[in-house]
Amino acid sequence: MVKILYVSGYQKEFPELSSTGKQIDKVQNGMIAISAVQAKPTNAVIIEDSLPLMTPTRLIRELVSIQPNLPIISIVRSEERRREIMDNYNQGIFGWFEPEHNDDSELRDLLDHAINFNQFYQGLKPRNQKDMTPVGYSDIVGISTPMTQIYLLLVQIMNKDVTTLLLGESGTGKNLVARTLHQTGLRRDKPFIHVNCPAIPSELLESELFGHEKGSFTGADERKDGKFLAANSGTIFLDEIGDMSPSLQAKILRVLENGEIERVGGAETLRV
């Protein structure tokens, strides 16, 4: 059963909350709210603009320490709270609602998102909950159903040693997802190498990736290791690999299949 707690403080009426159609337990102050959350896991907490006994900011800190990833919605009615709200966001609130500027449907949607995301979090295995935040996964922010589907894929991949293909239009966050996979996965303590393939001239890209031997081409004054060796045991992210020439893509395929590379101009096969 969904449990929603409303900490009303000095506020006597909140008609927008009644319009959500949800069963909500009401308490007056932060001390009672803390006891209620300690007694039973809670799906969402709504905190009023002004409270007796402790400030909303202090209550937020206390609740987050008791139940990490608890969705907390702050009600903002005063200019003072408006100035504090971004600091509260950094402390872990899910969102805020301003009765003066927002309508009932926005509170209802915010509460629905909070409950759904909390239920998604509760459904994860404990070992997969550690990288979740109140509003996303690690450094990724998003609480919609499509985003939770992505998070499910990430927690399945993070503990496996596999090659991962990230698909998406430019600007959809592939770089962020790649870094998140590295930072939360088995190779988090190893190098993360990002290669922006279109930014490197095609005639230099093979050398940049695989390295080269001294004298293998004009200007190759010494042996150089490439990005694959730099990322060895870690993660290499080949950004926009589709812009790479077919012949070079074939050589990349060999690395993915066999874990073997050769420096440009060299005969030695190296394992990565």
Residue range 74-124, pLDDT digits in tens:
999 998 898 888 888 888 889 999 988 888 889 999 999 999 999 999 999
Q: Please give the Cα distance from 15 to 269 (Å, whole number).
A: 72
The band of 226, judged by pLDDT with boundaries at 50, 70 and 90, is confident
Q: How far apart are CA 37 and CA 177, in angstroms?
A: 33
Query: How far is CA 152 from each of CA 103, 113, 159, 165, 174, rounded to the nearest angstrom?
Result: 33, 17, 12, 15, 16
Domains annotated on the chain, with CATH:
4-123 (3.40.50.2300), 136-271 (3.40.50.300)
In this model, does residue 220 exceed pLDDT 80? no
Complete edge-to-edge strand list for the sheet that includes strand 4-7: 25-27, 4-7, 44-47, 72-75, 95-97
pLDDT value, residue 97: 93
The helix (H) or strand (E) run that includes residue 195 is strand 192-196
Q: What is the mean pLDDT of the chain?
A: 89
Q: What is the pLDDT of residue 103?
A: 86
Single out the residue of 81, 23, 28, 22 nearest to residue 56, CA to CA.
Answer: 81
Whether 8 and 14 have beta carbons less than 8 Å apart is answered as: yes
Residue 60: the pLDDT is: 93
Q: What is the pLDDT of residues 140-171, one digit of tens each?
A: 999 998 999 999 999 988 888 889 999 988 88
pLDDT of residue 16: 83
Checking if the pLDDT of 38 tops 90, the result is yes
Residue 57: what pLDDT?
92
Please give the average per-residue pLDDT across 190-195, as a whole number. 94
Poorest-pLDDT segment among 7-21, 41-55, 70-84: 7-21
In this predicted structure, the answer to whether residue 189 has a pLDDT above a threshold of 90 is yes
Which residue type does 155 have? V
State the greatest distance between any 2 C-alpha atoms of the chain, in Å, as a whole number: 81
- Looking at residues 248-269, what average pLDDT do you find? 83
Average pLDDT over residues 197-222: 82
Position 40 confidence tier, pLDDT thresholds 50, 70, 90: confident
Residue 269 has pLDDT above 80, yes or no: no
Reference 241, options 172, 181, 164; nearest CA is 164
The partner residues of 5 in beta bridges, in order of sequence, read: 25, 45
- Lowest mean pLDDT: which of 65-69, 248-252, 262-266? 262-266
Buried b (16+ CB within 10 A) or exposed e, 166-193: eeeeeeebbeebbbbbbbbbebeeeebb
Q: Are 230 and 186 in contact (CB under 8 A)?
A: no
Q: In the chain, pLDDT over 90 holds for what percent of residues?
A: 46
The label of the residue with tokens 């937020």 reads 60
Q: Are 249 and 243 in contact (CB under 8 A)?
A: no
Helix 30-39 and helix 56-66: axis angle, to 10°?
10
Q: What six digits make up the tokens of 248? A: 């070079």
Alpha helix positions (H), the chain: 15-18, 30-39, 56-66, 79-91, 104-123, 126-129, 145-157, 174-184, 202-210, 227-230, 246-258
Whether pLDDT at 19 is above 80: no
Q: Is the pLDDT of residue 256 over 80?
A: yes
Nearest to 73 by CA among 36, 31, 81: 81
